[in-house]
Amino acid sequence: MKLIECFVSVAAMTALAGCSSTDVIDDVKKSDTAKIGFSTYMNKNSRAMDNTNFTNFFVYGTYTVGTSSQPVQVFMGDRVTKGSTGAWTYTNDRFWNPQGSYDFYAYSCENAPLTVAISGHPGMNGRYLNLLDFMVSPDHSTHDLVYAYALHETRPAHVDGTTSQPVSLAFKHILTRLKFTFKSEIPGDNYTVKISNIKVVNYYNSANFLGSTREWTAHTRVASAGEAPELPLTLPSGGIIQKPVGGKAQREAISTDAVFMIPYSYLDANVSLEFDFDMQAPDSNGQLKDVMGSHITATWQPTWLKGYSVNNVITLNGSATGMDPIRFTASISPEAGAAEDGWIVSGSTGNFVFDQSFN
């Protein structure tokens, strides 16, 4: 998986002797070469966040001295912002304690902080940064979430004319990027085929991400008005995947906009994909008339892995005459450019079981 790489540039500082955790900042040499600064770059562009749109992240940092287990908080969700010159800045300069061992954590939800009751909230557990009650809902499903950490960082005392080596933060995607591609193989040149009202139903829409393990846990389904979680998906081009053009069928594979799901390997086929299928054909006067339509429900057992990009391909089949039931195949296919935008392309297979026909 390609990573978004972030470097925390930290200048050296003068040696400290016998200072307590409460007076470290006051005892250091406060100069431009001694303060903690940030700079970022990315080797490969990420479709969600790249060098042109990655402008904010939120950093947490603590250190301990000697055998003490009591951490000193240095950063607590501080926003780090890239300015017009490309320099990263934050308020209230911080400085190295050369006797300290530092742990840094950072995250960015497409340049925004997590928000209670909408997307979740960060929380420190000792020196670990957790992302708690993270939510994927119709109000919050299209944002990439990246996370980084650097542990046990130390720097020697400041020497005039020198600067410390930067702390390297490698941001990783920690959600699963998901979309569906619809294709038509329905024979006949006069049909207009449309897909609409697509949604994923009964998925785990809330969980915690733990800094200690860098894994998701405590998956739950937070119901709304007693109903299973539902996530509508957007399909461009009006959802038309086949239409007559110049007396011939023009078929176009179209994909939903990507959503970002909480990773989880489901134990049962209890997640549903639902959508409406409508077919029209012109009458003798050239007016489009409904030929058939149905609300389709498919159940499947997803395996959504952290940092993977999954594209489920839905192919609709039929016959030229008699209107046989439409049959479906479903597979996960590589998404174009996935290797270049920071995602691992899933090699698993999506198996869909449809509980309705088009009779």
**What local confidence, expressed as pLDDT, does residue 85 receive?**
82
Structurally, how many domains does the chain consist of?
Answer: 2
Q: pTM higher than 0.75 for the full model? A: yes
**What local confidence, expressed as pLDDT, does residue 188 receive?**
85
Q: Which is more confidently placed, 34 or 135?
A: 135
Q: Is residue 28 part of a domain?
A: yes
Instruction: State yes or no: pLDDT of 168 exceeds 60.
Output: yes
With contact defined as beta carbons under 8 Å apart, do 261 and 304 qualify? yes
Q: In angstroms, rounded to a whole number, what is the distance separating the alpha carbons of residues 35 and 254?
A: 50
Q: Is residue 104 part of a domain?
A: yes
* Range with the poorest average pLDDT among 6-10, 92-96, 344-348: 6-10
Residues 227 and 152 in one domain: no
Categorize the per-residue pLDDT at 342 as very low, low, confident or very high, splitting at 50, 70 and 90: low
Q: Which two tokens stand for residue 33?
A: 């070469």
- The range of the structural domain enclosing residue 145 comes to 4-173
**What local confidence, expressed as pLDDT, does residue 5 receive?**
46
Q: Is residue 121 part of a domain?
A: yes
**What local confidence, expressed as pLDDT, does residue 341 receive?**
59
Mean pLDDT over residues 91-99, rounded? 87
**What local confidence, expressed as pLDDT, does residue 35 receive?**
56
User: Within 16-126, where are the H helices?
Assistant: 24-27
Categorize the per-residue pLDDT at 45 as very low, low, confident or very high, splitting at 50, 70 and 90: very low
φ, ψ for residue 135, nearest 5 deg: -125, 135
CA neighbor of 252 nearest in space, from 261, 243, 265: 243
Q: What CATH number should be reported for the domain holding residue 301?
A: 2.60.40
Residues 199-245: tens digit of each pLDDT: 999 999 999 999 999 999 999 999 887 899 999 999 988 899 999 99
Q: Is residue 65 part of a domain?
A: yes
**What local confidence, expressed as pLDDT, does residue 46 receive?**
39
CA neighbor of 359 nearest in space, from 325, 335, 333, 327: 325
With contact defined as beta carbons under 8 Å apart, do 272 and 200 qualify? yes
Q: In angstroms, rounded to a whole number, what is the distance separating the alpha carbons of residues 206 and 204?
A: 6
Residues 133 and 253 in one domain: no
Residues 232 and 344 in one domain: yes
Residues 183 and 169 in one domain: no
Q: Is residue 182 part of a domain?
A: yes
**What local confidence, expressed as pLDDT, does residue 170 receive?**
82
Residues 307-340: tens digit of each pLDDT: 999 999 988 876 432 345 434 444 445 455 555 5
**What local confidence, expressed as pLDDT, does residue 340 receive?**
56
**What local confidence, expressed as pLDDT, does residue 48 receive?**
61
Q: Is residue 213 part of a domain?
A: no
Residues 201 and 122 in one domain: no
**What local confidence, expressed as pLDDT, does residue 73 receive?**
95
**What local confidence, expressed as pLDDT, does residue 77 receive?**
96
Residues 112 and 185 in one domain: no
Q: In angstroms, rounded to a whole number, what is the distance separating the alpha carbons of residues 283 and 102?
A: 74
Q: Is residue 57 part of a domain?
A: yes
Q: Is residue 158 part of a domain?
A: yes
Residues 154 and 197 in one domain: no
Q: Which two tokens stand for residue 249?
A: 């069928």
Residues 192 and 151 in one domain: no
Residues 263 and 339 in one domain: yes
**What local confidence, expressed as pLDDT, does residue 258 receive?**
94
